[in-house]
A and B are shown apart, each in its own frame.
Chain A
C-alpha cells in the first residue's frame, strides 16, 4: 500500500519547474566554476557562469527559452573532443540527468538568483494542514513535504522511548527507571513539557551543549604543535557551560566570545569568554619562525569563525579568490585583519598558558585574596599612622648617629682564588665540599689547585670569571676592623652562590643566573681583627662572574644619610625616613606587624600562584597593518594591497558606525539581517537532535553545500530564533516537543529503502550515541558516575605508554588519576591533542586540533573491543551487576532492572530467554572456576560489595557487560 504511494525521492520530478538554487547552481558550481566562476585568476575565455551577466553575452552562451541555440547546452552535450565541457582534462563528466536539468532550466528562461543561503532569511508562513498531527509550526512544514511525497508520518514513539530520547539528546545521560516510570504514569496534559523543561534546566543540558561547542571551538588541554604542552583553558569551557545553563542568548554568546575584551569595562567573565579565539593550536618548536606561526593562528581563527558562524569555508581565499563562493582574497584578508591586531606572539610556550591571560580564582580563593590584601593594608596603615613613642625613637636615633660617626672603615685584603674544580654537573660541584668550607688555608693544595692572588677582581662592579661549565671557584679575603660591629655586603653571582664568614655559612643558593649588582645581601658580624670572608661560585654553563661591595651599617642608605646629619638640619622627609625605619624594624610593636606583612605577602604570592589562569584576547593599542599575502605566504605581504578590517560585504554590509574591530565583526554576525548566522545555528541544533541537519553539509552553506531538505522550515526556525531574542532553549524546546521529533524510529523496510537517510523525516532517526555518551551511559547505569560539573580535566584509565611513545624526547608521561576523577563525565577527560584518549577517538571523537562542527559516526571492531574489554566498561559492568543484584532476589527482577537502566524498557520474553541461558551456563562455569570469578569482580579501582558471593557477582557482571554492549543500549532510538 505504502509503496504504491511513494514518489521518487529526488527533489525534481518530471515536469516540475527547476529551481535555480536547488537544481542548477550545484551543477554549475561543481563543473563550471573552477574555470568560469568567481576566481578571476583561473577564469577561462573571460566567461563567468556564476552571474546573470552572461545572459546578455553576444556569444549566445545562454539563450533563455532555447537550449538548442545556447552555446552552454551545446558544449555540455557535444561529443567533439575540442568543444566538450567540462574538458576531458578535468576528468569530470555531466550525467544525463544533469544535462536534462540544464536544458529545462534554459527552457524555463535560464533565470539566475543568488545562492539560497546568501539571500535574506525569509518569513515563511507555515502551511495550513488539515491533519491534526502537527503540534507546532515545524510539523506543518514537515507534513506538507511528506504529503507532497505521498508519505505519512510514523506513529509517535512510546513514552519509554521518548523520555530516553529526550534525556540522551538533551543531557547526554539516560533517564533513571524511576524517571521513566513517573513519565509513563503521568497523565497530566503537559507531562511531556514537564520532562523537557526539567531536562533543559539541568546543568547536564549545559554540559551536553558545551560538549558540542568544544568540538566547534577546537577545545583542548594542550597546545597541539611540537611539544603539545599543557595549557589551562577549562575556565573558558566552564564559562560556556554557565552561559548555556542560564540560557544566554546566542547573540550575546557570540559577542562575548568573539569580542568580550572590547566591550566597555568588560567583566572578568567577558574576558574569559574570548578564550574561544585562543583555543587554536600554538607552537613552541625551536626552529620556528615567529611570523609564520602568528599568521597561521589568525588563519585558523578566520577558518573557525567561518565554519562556526557562517557555515562557509573561507580557506581557499587565503591563497586565491574562492572558486565557488563570492569571497575574494581581499575579503579574506579583511577578515584576517580583525584578528591580526592581537598582541600574542607566534612563538608560544610548552609550559602552560601564553599571555595574554587572566587569573580565574575560585570564590574561596577570591575571598582569601581579599582577606589578605585587606589585612596587609590595615597593617600598613597602622605602621604609617602610629604615633611613635618619642623618647625611645630619639634615644635610638642619637645612639645610631654616634655609632655611625665613630665607625671605622674596614680594611679589605685582595682576593685569593682556588680552583676551578670541575665535576659531572653543576649540582655536583655545588654540593661537593672541596675543603675551604671547613677553614681557609692559603698554603693548602687541593686536587692540584693552590690559592692564587686575584687583585684584578675589583669591588662594586660585575667581574667576569671565565669558569668552564660545571665548575666551582673559591674566593677568599680578610676584612679587618678595630671595633666589633655589623656591616652589610652586597653580592651578585653567575651562577650559584655560597658565602661563609669565619667558617660560618651565611648564604647558599643554587641559582642559575647572570651576575648583577645587589642580587643578594648578607649582614656580616665582624669581630675585631681579621675576619675571613669566603665565597664559592659554581658555573653551570656559559658566562660566569661575581659582584662584591661592602656597605655600611645594616641600615637603608637614606636612613644612614639622615642619621649623619645633625638633628636640627634634617628635613621632614629625613625625619620620616628615620621614624619609618625605627617603627618597622626596631620597635617591637612595629616589627611584629612588619613581619606579619612579610608573612601575608608570602601567603598572597603563594595564593596567586595557585590561582589558575585562562588565555584571553587582547589587541595591540597601536594596531597592526594588514596586507594581502601573496599565495597566502606569511613572508609575502603585498605592500600595494593594504587592507582594513572588514566583513563579507556581499552577504551584508557593515554599517558605517560599526567599529572596525572584532566588536564590529561580532555585531555584523548577530545582525538580525545576516543571512547565515541564524540558519547555521539552528541547523546545528537540528543536526544534534536528528542526527543530521536540514542542510546536510552542516559546515558548508556555500554553493558547494547541499540544498536544504526543508528550506522554508529552516528559514522559519532561523527567523523564529532571531525574533525570540536568539533564545537557544526555546529553539531546542520547540523542536523536541514537535510531533516530527516524537515519531518512532522503527520503520518498515520499504520506507527505509525509499529514504535511507531519512531526509523527509517520515520517522525519527536512530543513531549510535557519540563516544562520550557511550562511556557516560555505562558510568551512569552502573551508579559509578561522579556527576560533578566544572573544573580542570581528569585522567581516567588509559593503556600505558600512549603519551610517551609519541612525546618529544620521551619525557611526557600520562599519570592516571584515582578516586572520583575516574568516574567523571567524559567531557572532562583531559584532552591531549597529539595523543587523545583512545576510547574517544575510536568512537569518532576528533582530535580537536581544528574546528569540527559535525562528527562522523562509524561502526568498527575496535569499538566492540573498547566496550567489551576496557577496564572502565568492565568495572561499570560489575557495578551494574551489584545494582541488579540489589534490585531483588529473583532473576527476573534483577534482569528487568538492568535492562531498564540501559534501555528504559523491560526485556521481552525472547531477550529474557537469551539472558537466562547465558546466566545458567555462566554460573556453572564460575562455580567450577571461582578464581576467574574473583578476577572479574576485581577489575577497576573501586570497591566491591564484599557481601555478594563472587560467583554470583561475576555471573551478573557478564550479563551486565552484555547489556552495556547491546545495540539498543548504545543507540538513541
Chain B
C-alpha cells in the first residue's frame, strides 16, 4: 500500500478514536490498552440543567469599548431638537462622570450625525450605519435599557464578563464550561476570538475569559488568526503525523503501565487528554479552513470574511464552531471607544461588524441552528448624549455612559422583532424596564436551563454565583 494512503488511514482511524471517548473511542482505546476503564467524564454538574434549556450554545459578539446606543438604535426624533443645548441638570441628576469629562464646563447635547429609518414589522428605528442589521430587526430583540454601575472600561468590561468589577471571578464562559461540561470531544467548549477595528482600542485582559476560582480547564481557549490557531497546536518542525502518533502510542502505553502500577486513576484522564490533543490537531485546522465554504457564504458575510482575523471571518468561524457543538463562542471586537472622533470611528466600526453579525443570524437561521443558539451583541456600556470635547459641525466625542445602553439578542427562545426597555428623551436615564447586566447574565443562564440562584461554587466560605450577591432577575419580557 502507498505509505501516504496508509498514513491517511491511520490518521482517520486515530481521529475517529478520539471522538466521543465515552462511546466508540473509549472502547477502542481500552481494547488497545487493556485495563483502561473509561476516561474521566468531562461532563458538567449532575444537577444541571435545572430545567429544559432553550439554548444549547451561545455566540456572544462582544463590542469592546462601549458602542454608542444613541447613534445606532436608541433613536427618537426629538433628539434633533436637543442638539446643541446644555444637558439639563434634571437629566444628569448629579450622576458621577468619568474624570475625562467631569471637568468640562459645558455639556452640549449631540443628536446623532446620522440618518435613521424605521424597519421591520414594528417600525424599529435603526441607524444608517447598520444597513444589514436593519434587515434582521424582525429576528432579534433589542434591549434598550441595559445598565451598569461601572463608568470606566476596565471595571465595566470585567463586570459584564465576570459579574464583578474586581478581578478574580470566573467569566460567563468558564461558568458554563464548569456547569454544563462539553458537548464535543475534539474542540474546546469555550472559544474566544479577538478582532480590532480602527477606533480607540481599549485593552482586554485574560481575566475576561479566565476561570477565576474555578478549575483553570474552564478558561476560554483563544482561537487566533496568525500562527497556530490554538496555541502550541502544530507539531514541531521535523515531527510528522506518523511520528506524533507513534509517540502518543508510546506515551499512552507507558502511562497505562504506570496506572496499573500505581492505581492512580488520574492517569486515565491524562491518556484521554493526550488523545484529545491529537484530535484537536486535526479538528482545529479543519475548522479554520474556510475553503469548503461556497461563494454565497462570503457574499453573505462580506469579503472581509476571507481575511483571517477580521470580525467577519470570526463570525463565520463562530458559525462553524456552533455547527460543531462548541458551547460558548465569544468574539471580542475592539475599537468602540469614541471619545474624540466618534462620527468617523463609529462608521468604521459598523462597517467592520454590521454585515457579518447580521449574516451570522441569517446563516444560523437557515441552517436551523438559531433555534437553539443564543446570539448576543453588545458592549460594556453606552455613551453620553453630551459631547466630550468641542462639538463642531461634523465632529464630536461621547464619554462613557453606564446608565443606559443597548444589547441585542437573537435565537433560542428570544422574542423576534421586539424592543425592550425605554430611555428618556436624552437617551440618558431609563424610564421603562431597566435591565441590569446581572439581569442579562441571569437571562443567558436561564436560556441554558440554569437557575442563576442555584448555580453556585463554594469558594472562600461563600456560595459564589455569576450574578454575585445582589439580586438579579431573568428578563422574562424578552422571552418568546
Chain A residues closer than 8 Å to B277, beta-carbon distance:
861-862, 864-865, 868
Docked complex Cα distance between A319 and B153 (Å): 23
Docked complex Cα distance between A800 and B399 (Å): 33
Question: Contacts A801-B224, A870-B232, A871-B236 known; A865 to B280 CB distance under 8 Å?
Answer: yes
* Residue A468 interfacial (CB < 8 Å): no
* Residue A445 interfacial (CB < 8 Å): no
For chain A, which range describes its interface: under 10, 10 to 19, 20 to 34, or 35 or more residues? 35 or more
What residue of chain B has the Cβ atom nearest to residue A937's Cβ? B238
Question: Among residues 196 to 239 in chain B, which have CB atoms less than 8 Å away from a CB atom of chain A?
Answer: 196, 200-207, 210-211, 214-217, 219, 221, 224, 226-228, 230-239
Chain A residues closer than 8 Å to B151, beta-carbon distance:
287
What residue of chain B has the Cβ atom nearest to residue A752's Cβ? B263
* Residue B480 interfacial (CB < 8 Å): no
B19 to chain A, nearest CB (A): 13
Q: Is the CB of B230 within 8 A of A865?
A: yes
* Residue A108 interfacial (CB < 8 Å): no
Name, among B153, B239, B257, the residue most crowded by chain A CB atoms within 10 Å (CB to CB): B239
Chain B residues closer than 8 Å to A801, beta-carbon distance:
224, 226-227
* Residue A699 interfacial (CB < 8 Å): yes
Docked complex Cα distance between A807 and B205 (Å): 8
Docked complex Cα distance between A910 and B188 (Å): 34
Q: Is the CB of B206 within 8 A of A932?
A: no
Q: Is the CB of B232 within 8 A of A809?
A: no
Q: Is the CB of A834 within 8 A of B205?
A: yes
Q: Is the CB of B207 within 8 A of A861?
A: no
* Residue A749 interfacial (CB < 8 Å): yes
Q: Is the CB of A283 within 8 A of B228?
A: no
A750 to chain B, nearest CB (A): 9
* Residue B152 interfacial (CB < 8 Å): yes
What residue of chain B has the Cβ atom nearest to residue A973's Cβ? B262
Question: Among residues 902 to 929 in chain A, which have CB atoms less than 8 Å away from a CB atom of chain B?
Answer: 910-911, 914-915, 917-918, 921-922, 925
Q: Is the CB of A316 within 8 A of B263?
A: no
A221 to chain B, nearest CB (A): 15
* Residue B28 interfacial (CB < 8 Å): no
What residue of chain A has the Cβ atom nearest to residue B453's Cβ? A91
Number of A-B residue pairs, CB cutoff 8 Å, is 252
Contact indicator per residue, chain A 940-973, by CB within 8 Å of chain B (1) or not (0):
0000000000000010001001100111100101
Chain A residues closer than 8 Å to B399, beta-carbon distance:
287
* Residue B341 interfacial (CB < 8 Å): no
* Residue B462 interfacial (CB < 8 Å): yes
B44 to chain A, nearest CB (A): 15
Q: Is the CB of A228 within 8 A of B258?
A: no
* Residue A935 interfacial (CB < 8 Å): yes
Chain B residues closer than 8 Å to A312, beta-carbon distance:
461
Chain A residues closer than 8 Å to B131, beta-carbon distance:
none
* Residue B100 interfacial (CB < 8 Å): yes
Chain B residues closer than 8 Å to A958, beta-carbon distance:
239, 243, 246-247
* Residue A702 interfacial (CB < 8 Å): yes
Docked complex Cα distance between A799 and B101 (Å): 39
* Residue A841 interfacial (CB < 8 Å): yes
Q: Is the CB of A841 within 8 A of B273?
A: no
Q: Is the CB of B202 within 8 A of A281?
A: no
* Residue B371 interfacial (CB < 8 Å): no
Stretch at the interface among A241-249, A539-547, A844-852: A844-852
* Residue A507 interfacial (CB < 8 Å): no
Q: Is the CB of B280 within 8 A of A922?
A: no
Docked complex Cα distance between A816 and B167 (Å): 27
B95 to chain A, nearest CB (A): 12
Stretch at the interface among B9-17, B264-272, B297-305, B433-441: B264-272
Docked complex Cα distance between A863 and B227 (Å): 18
* Residue B253 interfacial (CB < 8 Å): yes
* Residue B90 interfacial (CB < 8 Å): no
Chain B residues closer than 8 Å to A296, beta-carbon distance:
166
Q: Is the CB of A285 within 8 A of B153?
A: yes
* Residue A215 interfacial (CB < 8 Å): no
* Residue B106 interfacial (CB < 8 Å): no
Question: Among residues 404 to 455 in chain B, which have CB atoms less than 8 Å away from a CB atom of chain A?
Answer: 451, 453-454
Q: Is the CB of A863 within 8 A of B231?
A: no
* Residue A859 interfacial (CB < 8 Å): yes
B420 to chain A, nearest CB (A): 26
What residue of chain B has the Cβ atom nearest to residue A936's Cβ? B238
Stretch at the interface among A337-345, A476-484, A740-748: A740-748
* Residue B400 interfacial (CB < 8 Å): yes
Question: Contacts A847-B167, A869-B236 known; A838 to B269 CB distance under 8 Å?
Answer: no
Chain A residues closer than 8 Å to B255, beta-carbon distance:
966-968
A834-B203, A859-B273, A965-B274 given. 8 additional CB < 8 A pairs? A228-B203, A296-B166, A799-B228, A799-B231, A860-B217, A862-B221, A866-B232, A962-B247
Residues of A within 8 A of B (CB): 91, 224-228, 281, 283, 285-290, 296, 299-300, 307, 312-313, 315-316, 319, 324-325, 635, 697, 699-700, 702-705, 745-749, 752, 766-768, 799-801, 805-810, 833-836, 838, 841-842, 844-845, 847, 849-850, 856, 858-866, 868-871, 874, 910-911, 914-915, 917-918, 921-922, 925, 932-939, 954, 958, 961-962, 965-968, 971, 973
22 CB-based A-B contacts, threshold 8 Å: A91-B453, A227-B203, A286-B98, A287-B400, A288-B98, A289-B96, A699-B460, A702-B461, A766-B262, A767-B266, A800-B226, A809-B201, A835-B205, A849-B207, A850-B168, A856-B214, A865-B231, A868-B235, A868-B244, A932-B240, A958-B239, A968-B255
Query: Which 6 pairs, one residue from A and one from B, show the smallest C-beta to C-beta distance?
Result: A287-B98, A936-B238, A704-B461, A935-B238, A849-B167, A313-B460
